């Protein structure tokens, strides 16, 4: 197996940084100007973390490509970290949005689109009742609150190195088997160890033990971990997870915000899962802010029984703009016309092509890396074998190497999903774009091991 020479890596990083700076004068100027009005020169703190000395400023995006303010074109394999999994601004969604924008955007009242979307979500995912929020984070937060109220239990359980948005309870990791606040956790309301149990994914014994005390309201899980690199469940894991949660009276929240990439019904439909709550955000409205959470008949009854009309606007589940007319019009167009049953085979086949290309280059240069895929999402990880849990996936990360690979790709017109090495395919994915990534990836690793 080929070792990465760190001096070579640093040398390439310096060269690629210089190339990035000279290729992006307008982005550099915008970044400089932004220093006086935006904290750190960016509209959101994590935009500072892109590989490269400053972020690329975007001019426009369409389908699987975007153009920056320097006039450069990019193949977009990030797709807004799933927010634009539909491809950027699909014309049918853009038309529906334009129509709705002229007819009222937000009213605190339902529109007919909400009926259609509720019925489609019910048909697609099998859960009978739905509610809407603006973000997947909020959908998770509200499902957790409801689970606490229904079970009258204080805690939740998450998997080590999970990510479910900015949900306070989830910023917890295991260090030498002890649960503690995740590094970088900003201003936690309470120590997450008070609110949350955390166990490794695929460790049934640990799960059973953590649920045994009977104080866990819900397990919040991605059915396949996607945010620390892709970590698949072992055979039978989901069946056992469901059995253990049922046995201990714990509700199961399946967060499909990313795993919708597995197919039109998400991983839940593909693998016949049976959750109590189902979360779907980001791509649901083609990039317009919007998310949904669905739940079973039993959960719906408990919610209704516990609801008090007089207090229902201040119970901790809300959002003035949640369920707004614009989000629902965009959801309707996205679900009917874009993220359809017919679209997925093409998206998945593009991800298979990407996987085969990257695997071939890894083998050619004998690198101790591997590729994992879930539907139309694929990722290379810096370890020879698939991780079994979040810790193994996290241990395979290499911040400097990852930054070089991303910078190298950006300098050659390809945007990967930041903070890991993921590529996502939209319905407009072009095999030629996929092959271009393969060529650039091969060139990068060839230079790295030279």
Ligand X SMILES: Cc1ncc(COP(=O)(O)O)c(C=O)c1O
Mark 82-121 with x for binding to ligand X (rule: CB under 6 A) and - for no binding: ----------------------------------------
Contact flag: residue 282 with ligand X (CB under 6 A): yes
Q: Output the six-digit token pair for 67.
A: 């153009």
Mark 161-180 with x for binding to ligand X (rule: CB under 6 A) and - for no binding: --xxx---------------
**Gap between the Cα atoms of 295 and 278, Å rounded:** 6
Residues touching ligand X: how many (CB under 6 A)?
A: 15
For residue 153, give every residue at least 6 positions away whose Cβ sits within 8 Å of its Cβ, in sequence order, or none: 214, 215, 216, 217, 250
Mark 241-280 with x for binding to ligand X (rule: CB under 6 A) and - for no binding: --------------x-xx----------------------
φ, ψ of residue 221 in degrees (nearest 5): -140, 140
**Gap between the Cα atoms of 163 and 193, Å rounded:** 16
> CA 322, 221, 388: angle at the middle one, nearest 5?
145
For residue 74, give every residue at least 6 positions away whose Cβ sits within 8 Å of its Cβ, in sequence order, or none: 56, 65, 66, 67, 68, 410, 413, 414, 415
Other beta carbons within 10 Å of 86: 28
State the nearest-atom distance from the C-beta of 259 to ligand X, in Å: 8
By beta-carbon proximity to ligand X, the closer residue of 177 and 184 is: 184
State the nearest-atom distance from the C-beta of 223 to ligand X, in Å: 10
Q: By C-alpha distance, which of 420, 334, 322 is closest to 379?
A: 420
State the nearest-atom distance from the C-beta of 181 to ligand X, in Å: 19
Q: By C-alpha distance, which of 353, 339, 342, 371 is closest to 260?
A: 339
State the nearest-atom distance from the C-beta of 396 to ligand X, in Å: 19
Of 47-86, binders to ligand X (CB under 6 A) are 81
By beta-carbon proximity to ligand X, the closer residue of 230 and 362 is: 230
State the nearest-atom distance from the C-beta of 227 to ligand X, in Å: 5
Q: Give the burial class of 1: count Cβ atoms within 10 A of its Cβ; 0-12 exposed, 13-18 middle, 19 or more buried.
A: exposed
State the nearest-atom distance from the C-beta of 287 to ligand X, in Å: 11
Of 127-146, binders to ligand X (CB under 6 A) are 135-137, 140
Of 195-224, binders to ligand X (CB under 6 A) are 222
Beta bridge partners of 374: 377
Residues at the contact surface with ligand X, assessed by CB under 6 A: 81, 135-137, 140, 163-165, 222, 227, 255, 257-258, 281-282
């Amino acid at each position: 197996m080929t070792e990465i020479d760190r001096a070579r890596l640093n040398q390439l990083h310096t060269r690629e940084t210089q190339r990035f700076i000279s290729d992006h004068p307008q982005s550099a100027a915008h970044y400089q100007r932004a220093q006086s009005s935006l904290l750190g020169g960016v509209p959101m703190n994590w935009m500072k973390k892109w590989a490269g000395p400053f972020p690329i400023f975007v001019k426009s995006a369409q389908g699987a490509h975007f153009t920056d303010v320097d006039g450069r074109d990019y193949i977009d394999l990030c797709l807004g970290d799933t927010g634009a999994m539909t491809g950027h601004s699909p014309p049918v969604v853009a038309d529906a949005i334009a129509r709705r924008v002229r007819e009222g955007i937000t009213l605190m009242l339902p529109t007919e689109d909400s009926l259609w979307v509720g019925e489609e979500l019910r048909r697609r995912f099998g859960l009978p009742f739905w509610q809407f929020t603006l973000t997947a984070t909020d959908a998770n937060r509200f499902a957790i609150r409801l689970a606490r109220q229904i079970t009258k239990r204080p805690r939740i359980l998450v998997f080590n190195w999970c990510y479910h948005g900015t949900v306070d309870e989830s910023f917890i990791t295991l260090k030498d088997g002890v649960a503690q606040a995740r590094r970088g956790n900003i201003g936690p309301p309470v120590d997450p160890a008070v609110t949350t149990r955390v166990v490794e994914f695929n460790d049934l014994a640990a799960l059973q033990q953590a649920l045994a005390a009977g104080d866990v309201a819900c397990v919040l899980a991605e059915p396949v971990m996607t945010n620390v690199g892709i970590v698949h469940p072992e055979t039978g894991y989901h069946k056992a997870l469901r059995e253990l949660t049922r046995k201990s009276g714990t509700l199961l929240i399946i967060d499909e915000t990313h795993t919708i990439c597995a197919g039109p019904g998400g991983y839940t439909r593909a693998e016949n899962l049976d959750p109590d709550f189902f979360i779907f955000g980001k791509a649901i409205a083609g990039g317009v802010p919007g998310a949904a959470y669905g739940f079973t008949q039993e959960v719906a009854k408990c919610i209704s029984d516990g609801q008090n009309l007089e207090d229902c606007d201040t119970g901790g589940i809300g959002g003035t703009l949640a369920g707004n007319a614009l989000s629902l019009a965009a959801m309707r167009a996205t679900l009917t016309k874009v993220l359809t049953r017919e679209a997925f085979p093409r998206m998945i086949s593009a991800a298979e092509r990407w996987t085969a290309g990257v695997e071939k280059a890894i083998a050619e240069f004998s690198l101790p890396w591997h590729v994992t895929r879930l539907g139309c999402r694929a990722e290379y990880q810096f370890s020879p074998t698939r991780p079994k849990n979040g810790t193994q996936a996290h241990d395979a990360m290499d911040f400097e190497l990852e930054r070089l690979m991303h910078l190298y790709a950006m300098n050659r017109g390809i945007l990967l999903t930041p903070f890991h090495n993921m590529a996502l395919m939209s319905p407009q994915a072009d095999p030629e774009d996929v092959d271009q990534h393969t060529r650039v990836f091969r060139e990068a690793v060839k230079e790295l091991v030279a």
